[in-house]
Amino acid sequence: MAYIGLLEVFIAFLVFIFFHFLIYKKPHQILPRNWPVLRMLPGVLIMFHRINDYIAEVLEVSNLTFALKGPWFFGMNMLVTADPANIQHVFNTNFSNYDKGSEFKEIFDFLGEGIFSADSKLWEELWKSALVMVSQQGFQRFSLKTFTSKIKNRLVLVLDHYAESNTAFDLQGVFQRLAFDVTLTLVTGQDSNSLSIEMPESEYAKAMDDAEEVIVYRHVKPMILWKLEVIQSRQHSNIGEEAHDEDILSFYMKLDTSKYELINPKDDNFLKDTIKTFMIAGRDALATTLTWFFWLLSKNPEAVTKIRDEINTNLPRSGQSLDPYMLNKMVYLHGALCESLRLYAPVPFERKSPIKQDMLPSGHKVDANWKILFAVYALGRMRAVWGEDASEFKPERWISESGGLKHVPSFKFFVFNSGPRNCLGKNLSFLQMKTIAIEIIQNYDIKVAEGHKIEQAPSMVLHMKHGLKVIVSKRCLVS
């Protein structure tokens, strides 16, 4: 799976050549064999290059839940599931009995005590403080202003440059730089300006990518993500005099500690953990979704036509500001983005561990020795959940007969988590994705470079391994 220790990998590859011929199976034999000692690990490693699709295939023939048995003595037994009933049970009905666990914190130790890795009381306090932050009008105005500025002054200039030169470029890289710049500004109030025609190398962004790849192989100590010297400089400054005093760092540095027991904004480690958590969440979700979204649109030109018709009907001409009310009219675009998220979830797996023994709705008994992996990527492709057309890109599945958006429960559409840990940034994410999509679809034609190979990268985030090479051209808009 995605969390395989170095020692386990080493042991497995010692016997890889010996077992390879024996393990190789015909296509209809999907399930990994259960060998002595190493059990199912060798079979999983053989399929590691396409692990997300392989898990989807396994779950499709396993009634949505599969017990993956790891090597003896290593505590790697996992229950892999894409069953909405199990998700509802763990993340809602019996939420208090499940947490991330100590092993999760070790694997993701570069996130420290951030909201994604925290449990129990600390998580509750971090969640409450984050809810206050994202609900503040000042932060919302700052977000919209920052995002609009980045699109107008950065993204458009870069796309125009490549359109004029008629050269192929990596659209995934452009989205990653845009999302990184936006997120860094929202989190710290500062700008790296990594998105430009020159495309300067960003050590911060590179370190984030490295850490995400390291996690897949479960290094005992992931490399240091990056140092945020900005914290110390801001601690010695007058926050009230800063131009960007509505960013996340400022919010936490001014946090009233009397309301919380476990949050200490004077602690450098707390601030670093908070910033790293928000940086990864903000950058990766946006950039990854947009990359797969535009690749799907390149394969479905009829969807592009429908989005453009919706733009022409509901929105002002290019160059005018968009507000949330206008964006809410873009029902088909919203459905298309949901389809992209369903088929290519930015984070393919979610992980939990039971505190005490429990019985899941699927009939599987779990205790503290088992880890439960919720296969978010696979869930979006399960025919038992989405119908026989589950593998197809169909924005219409999100639209009701009356023309509005259908409600799909979070335990079925699990991309933004479910229950108390539901993503607080969901609405902001859709606002950002719609704004970028409209700007590009309205003003440019995107074509994937001929012969470009699409392959998933081995990472905790669903990046494209080779990027998304495209050629862009300006559209002639009729006024």
Bind-site residues for heme: 423
Task: Please check whether residue 193 is in contact with residue 181, taking contact to mean a CB–CB distance below 8 angstroms.
Answer: yes
Q: What is the crossing angle of helices 426-443 and 331-343, to 10°? A: 110
> Which residues are part of a known binding site?
423
The 3-state DSSP class for residue 242 equals coil
| Bridge partners, 350 (sequence order) | 374
CA end-to-end distance (rounded Å), the chain: 53
The 3-state DSSP class for residue 446 equals strand
Task: Please check whether residue 144 is in contact with residue 152, taking contact to mean a CB–CB distance below 8 angstroms.
Answer: no
How many angstroms separate the CA atoms of 8 and 122, rounded? Answer: 32
| Bridge partners, 371 (sequence order) | 78
Q: Dihedral of CA 441/443/445/448: which sign?
A: negative
Nearest-CA neighbor of 403 among 330, 341, 312? 330
DSSP assignment letter at 40? T
Task: Please check whether residue 474 is in contact with residue 443, taking contact to mean a CB–CB distance below 8 angstroms.
Answer: yes
H or E element in which residue 169 lies = strand 169-170
Strands 358-359 vs 371-375: parallel, antiparallel or unpaired:
unpaired
The 3-state DSSP class for residue 23 equals helix
